[in-house]
């Protein structure tokens, strides 16, 4: 059985959340890390490679950051966000990149089963929620995304650099002001909280992959990095770098 760190960092501000994810990617820990978190106040995140001009919602939101990972823009409200940080040669990420997405999404689907949510990969089917012209992640699905009720409810992206992987994703509890087309966990399991979903995710990773978690807080170096780098991720220069 492998031991991982579990970090629950709920209600973090946008820049700090991205700074801590960067710390997990760049400051390798002795063990793999699963981080589960929420955003307070809510914010929009752009994918690393997105052009700001391609996301009309950016002009309407009060807060925004640019992520380290690719993909479309996400409004981080009414959701649980996850990030996984580990060495690039970890067995969970062995083989084609596509297979690593399928493994992680299958684990999330296992967690959602506990809420009566029938999540499965989209495959080749079209979704009623697809509207790719707006640049929003949950309106532009791919075959690997988890869907239920003809809408996308889980999307994720990876960053691979320096022999490390950061896998970041969003699991939607219900629609929000700027993510109106998402699949809703609460439509199947009313009242579900981020804390309840976090517990189910922990159990799913333990059962699916033989992981034993030790629940910890971020280390001093990680916290210092997050505080120092937070302004960078919210800066206009970084937001509009593309």
Rounded to the nearest 10°, the torsion over CA 44, 47, 50, 54 is -30
Q: Tokens at residue 8, please?
A: 């629950």
**Pairing between strand 120-121 and 151-161?**
unpaired
The CA distance from 234 to 13, in Å, is: 10
Spot the catalytic one: 85, 127, 137, 230: 137
Which residues partner with 37 through β-bridges?
Answer: 9, 81
Q: Tokens at residue 217, please?
A: 């807080």
DSSP per residue, 33-89: EEEEEEESS-EEEE-TT--GGG-GGGGT-S-EEE-SS-S-BEEESSEEEEEEEEETT
Q: Tokens at residue 38, please?
A: 């929420």
- Map tokens 């001009």 to a residue: 53
Residue 142 appears among annotated catalytic residues: no
**Pairing between strand 151-161 and 146-148?**
antiparallel
Please say whether the beta carbons of 138 and 129 come within 8 A.
yes
Please say whether the beta carbons of 119 and 184 come within 8 A.
no
- 126's CB contacts (< 8 A; 6+ apart) are none
Catalytically active residues are 137
């Amino acid at each position: 059985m492998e031991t991982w760190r579990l970090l629950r960092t709920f209600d973090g501000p946008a820049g700090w959340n991205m700074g801590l994810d960067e710390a997990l990617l760049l400051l390798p820990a002795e063990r793999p890390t699963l981080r589960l978190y929420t955003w307070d106040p809510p914010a929009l995140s752009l994918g690393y490679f997105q052009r700001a001009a391609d996301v009309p919602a950016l002009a309407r939101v009060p807060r925004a950051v640019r992520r380290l990972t690719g993909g479309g823009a996400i409004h981080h409200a009414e959701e649980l966000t996850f990030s996984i940080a580990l060495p690039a040669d970890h067995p969970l990420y062995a083989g084609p990149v596509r297979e690593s997405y399928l493994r992680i999404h299958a684990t999330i689907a296992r967690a959602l089963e506990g809420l009566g949510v029938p999540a499965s990969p989209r495959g080749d089917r079209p979704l009623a929620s697809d509207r790719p012209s707006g640049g929003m992640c949950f309106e532009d699905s791919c075959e690997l995304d988890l869907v239920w009720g003809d809408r996308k409810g889980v999307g994720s992206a990876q960053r691979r650099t320096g022999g490390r992987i950061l896998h970041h994703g969003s699991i939607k509890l219900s629609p929000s002001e700027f993510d109106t087309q998402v699949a809703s966990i609460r439509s199947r399991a009313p009242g579900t909280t981020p804390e309840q979903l976090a517990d189910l995710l922990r159990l799913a990773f333990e059962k699916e992959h033989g992981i034993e978690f030790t629940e910890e807080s971020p280390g001093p170096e990680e916290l210092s990095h997050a505080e120092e780098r937070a302004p960078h991720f919210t800066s206009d220069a970084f937001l509009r770098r593309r």
